[in-house]
Amino acid sequence: MSTEKNLPSKNQIKLVYESYNAYLTEILSNITNVLAVALKLSSRPTFKKRVKSFNSYYKKVLRLKPGEASVSQELVPLTDMMGIRVICAFLEDINLAIEQIGSLFHVVEVEHKGGQKFSEFGYESVHVLIKIPEECTPPLTGIYEKLKPLPEDAVCEIQIRTILQDAWAEVEHELIYKTEFTPLDIPLRRKLASLNASLSLADITFQEIRDYQNKLQREISERRNSFYALADNLTDDGQEGKSKENISRITPFVQGTIDEMILSAIHAHNEGHVDEAVSIYSRIIEANPVPPEPVLAVIHKHRGMAYFALNKYEEAIEDFEKSIGYDPKAFRTYYYKGIVYSISKKYDLAVECFTKSLELNEFQAHTHYRRALSYYEMGEYEKSMADVDDALKLGINEEEIQGLREKLVKKFGMGM
């Protein structure tokens, strides 16, 4: 039985393949545009796209098994004939991208590739094969009218990699595959394996830092919201500060790195263990060696918010002042300080703090609103109304400001 492949000549294959080049490029651009709009990852991905060069295409065609390609086929389809690379920052983005691509296109196959040729560590790359969507396929008219439709089994390959995985792939391609270089020297093989492992470890470390940041931001957001809620309660009806309900989860108390202790303190604050939070913050401040000034600015700000939750307004002001001393451009700290002054009915000092905060960052709707409240209490109704208008322009929820606005309209209606 003959095993000879039934293929046309190289020139015939080249003519056919290159006649499709512009067509395939347009398909790739259309698919990439869909991905660029629809993919929502933890950070903005970047995209690379390419139609396989003829020389690379032809080498793969020659490796096809007998019967996989024939003269009757106008275009021999390869799975990587059209390729898009999605390059993301973090490992978590890879699974997000796979999931979202599955909702956007008909996925034919998902392949997790690892075990690079010269590495025992297996640097992973994910390849997703999708069916070419009809909406991304240009009509066979105009410059494409002489082309035949793509084979039914034509696919586009989407590779998903982190930035570091992509860097390794690019360098490896230049060093090894492009030059057909096979290192036989054991020390050289170990160097390649070591580089691969270092990049893999860096990816894992970046993801761990990202996970920590995400957890910290959730805790900070919850703590900040509780601070605002307490301030609103005291502003609205003059109630004494209420302790946050003690949730039954155990508060982790970590005596480790400063980052771990900050996260532990914020979590303790969020769970209602505010005294414990103050204690942790104090230990960081009193540490030997003394933490750098940027760290002290953050810790004093957080401890000031904890003191506020305990109704210890003087201590809160003192911490906010120390925080500002270490970081004079911290507009949020001025804002928090202003809130404490307004709760203490020291409205002139509150206005000074809100004004300073707005000088540092003018795009703060709630700072305008808080200053409007203080101006109202001082009888400065025109200034209060101006801040109300500015808060509305900056997008504050109208319901939040409605009560104050109605009181101001009433004052103006009465001729003040």
DSSP SS3 for 382: helix
Confidence of residue 71 (pLDDT cuts 50, 70, 90): very low
- Residue 233 near residue 239, CB atoms below 8 Å: yes
- Residue 337 near residue 317, CB atoms below 8 Å: yes
Cα 174 vs. chain centroid, distance in angstroms? Answer: 31
Say which residues have a Cβ less than 8 Å from residue 312's Cβ, sequence separation at least 6. Answer: none
Interatomic CA distance for residues 204 and 209, integer angstroms: 9
pLDDT tens-digit map of 320-360: 999 999 999 999 999 999 999 999 999 999 999 999 999 99
Q: Where are the alpha helices (DSSP H) in 74-129?
A: 92-104
366 or 220: which leads in pLDDT: 366
356 or 68: which leads in pLDDT: 356
pLDDT reading at 17 higher than 60: yes
168 or 88: which leads in pLDDT: 88
Q: Quote the tokens at residue 66.
A: 């007998």
Confidence of residue 120 (pLDDT cuts 50, 70, 90): very low
Interatomic CA distance for residues 90 and 220, integer angstroms: 22
Model pLDDT, residue 50: 94
| Lowest model confidence (mean pLDDT) among 56-65, 201-210, 238-247, 315-324 | 238-247
For Cα atoms 44, 45, 48, give the angle at the middle one, nearest 5 degrees.
150
Give the number of other CB atoms < 10 A from CB of residue 14: 15
Phi, psi dihedral angles at 391 (to 5 degrees): -65, -40
Strand partners, 86: 47, 160
Interatomic CA distance for residues 377 and 368, integer angstroms: 14
Interatomic CA distance for residues 197 and 195, integer angstroms: 5
Model pLDDT, residue 251: 35
Model pLDDT, residue 8: 67
pLDDT tens-digit map of 208-226: 778 777 877 777 777 777 7
Say which residues have a Cβ less than 8 Å from residue 322's Cβ, sequence separation at least 6. Answer: 296, 300
Model pLDDT, residue 310: 92
Phi, psi dihedral angles at 168 (to 5 degrees): -60, -45
- Segment 87-97 shows an average pLDDT of 92
pLDDT reading at 245 higher than 50: no
Confidence of residue 244 (pLDDT cuts 50, 70, 90): very low
- Residue 300 near residue 323, CB atoms below 8 Å: yes
- Residue 156 near residue 148, CB atoms below 8 Å: no
Confidence of residue 249 (pLDDT cuts 50, 70, 90): very low
183 residue type, one letter = P
Say which residues have a Cβ less than 8 Å from residue 97's Cβ, sequence separation at least 6. Answer: 39, 41, 45, 86, 88, 160
Model pLDDT, residue 88: 93
Query: In Å, how far are 36, 45, 47, 94 from 41, measured between CA atoms?
Result: 11, 7, 13, 9
Cα 237 vs. chain centroid, distance in angstroms? Answer: 39
Interatomic CA distance for residues 416 and 400, integer angstroms: 23
Q: Which of 51-60, 162-171, 359-368 has maximum average pLDDT?
A: 359-368
- Residue 260 near residue 254, CB atoms below 8 Å: yes
What stretch of H or E contains 188? helix 186-237
For Cα atoms 321, 323, 325, give the angle at the middle one, nearest 5 degrees.
70
Interatomic CA distance for residues 129 and 264, integer angstroms: 44
What is the DSSP annotation of 217-271? HHHHHHHHHHHHHHHHHHHHH-PPPPPPP--SSPPP---SSHHHHHHHHHHHHHT
| Lowest model confidence (mean pLDDT) among 164-178, 255-269, 350-364 | 164-178
54 or 73: which leads in pLDDT: 54
What value does the mean pLDDT of the chain take? 83
Model pLDDT, residue 33: 96
| Lowest model confidence (mean pLDDT) among 48-52, 233-237, 329-333, 385-389 | 233-237
What stretch of H or E contains 200? helix 186-237
Question: Minimal CA–CA distance to 339: which of 322, 329, 352, 326?
Answer: 352
What stretch of H or E contains 118? none
| Lowest model confidence (mean pLDDT) among 33-37, 67-71, 103-107, 328-332 | 67-71
Confidence of residue 248 (pLDDT cuts 50, 70, 90): very low
Model pLDDT, residue 155: 94
Interatomic CA distance for residues 286 and 298, integer angstroms: 14
* pLDDT > 90: percent of the chain: 50
Model pLDDT, residue 66: 58
What stretch of H or E contains 294? helix 293-309
